[in-house]
Amino acid sequence: MSGAYDPRGIANLMLDEADRVSFKITNLALQKLLYFAHGIHLVQTKEPLVSGYFEAWQYGPVHPSAYKAFKAAGSSPIAFRATGQDPMTGAPLEIVTPNEARLTALMQQVLGSYGRMSPGRLVDLSHAKDSPWSYVVEKSRTEVAFGLRISDNVILERFRHHKVSIGLEPLSGEPSDDTPFT
């Protein structure tokens, strides 16, 4: 791989695969699925899947540019694909959706493992003790944290700590949208 992909393109690929198997995905759930795809890819290849960075938001890891691209969906299932904007003219630009078998297989793996989980379960999983999100949030309580960014190094070191609770109700309830910590 020559470099990381535009997170909006990977999100579009995730949504295409979800449509293929009749999954409906909200922006909150998409952020967690994108994060898990990035983490799995990072652990397997030692290379980032998406460019940019994830941040620790109230309900778990969020990729700010991917979040912004799908914000218009609110808490409803996403029924559109991300587009870009020409910075000079403001004209809409198509986001390239990667067309690689290994990436499609990764999206299928993530959807197979996590796609049927409710948003609350995905949040619980992303909040697991000692996970990258948990580590960054805890560290921010005692140190200055720039935008609560979750670095790829932290993801590599701590991704194995993702575990989901067993029980009838997600510990975090069923949130419908995410917000940055203030």
Q: What's the CA gap between 64 and 52, in Å, rounded?
A: 9
In the 3-class helix/strand/coil scheme, how is the chain assigned residue by residue?
CCCCECHHHHHHHHHHHHHHCCCCCCHHHHHHHHHHHHHHHHHHHCCCCECCCEEEECCEEECHHHHHHHHHHCCCCCCCCCEEECCCCCCEEECCCCCCHHHHHHHHHHHHHHCCCCHHHHHHHHCCCCCHHHHHHHHHCCCCCCCCEECHHHHHHHHHHCCCCCCCCCCCCCCCCCCECC
Q: Identity (one letter) of the amino acid at 7? A: P
Cβ(61)–Cβ(54) below 8 Å: yes
Cβ(150)–Cβ(158) below 8 Å: no
User: Which pLDDT score, from 0 to 100, does residue 1 have?
Assistant: 40
More confident residue, 70 or 169: 70
More confident residue, 170 or 82: 82
More confident residue, 29 or 162: 29
**What does pLDDT average to over the chain?**
89
Percentage of residues in the chain having pLDDT higher than 70:
87
Model confidence at 13, in pLDDT bands (50, 70, 90)?
Answer: very high
More confident residue, 115 or 181: 115
User: Which pLDDT score, from 0 to 100, does residue 174 have?
Assistant: 56
- Mean pLDDT value of segment 78-106: 93
User: Which pLDDT score, from 0 to 100, does residue 85 have?
Assistant: 87
Q: Identity (one letter) of the amino acid at 162? A: H
Per-residue pLDDT reduced to its tens digit, 148-158: 999 999 999 99
- Residue from 61, 46, 37, 34 nearest 1 by CA: 46
- Mean pLDDT value of segment 109-127: 92
Q: What's the CA gap between 148 and 162, in Å, rounded?
A: 19
Tell me: pLDDT of 179 over 50.
yes
- Mean pLDDT value of segment 29-52: 97
Model confidence at 108, in pLDDT bands (50, 70, 90)?
Answer: very high
* Cα separation values, 172 from 40, 121, 126, Å: 23, 8, 11
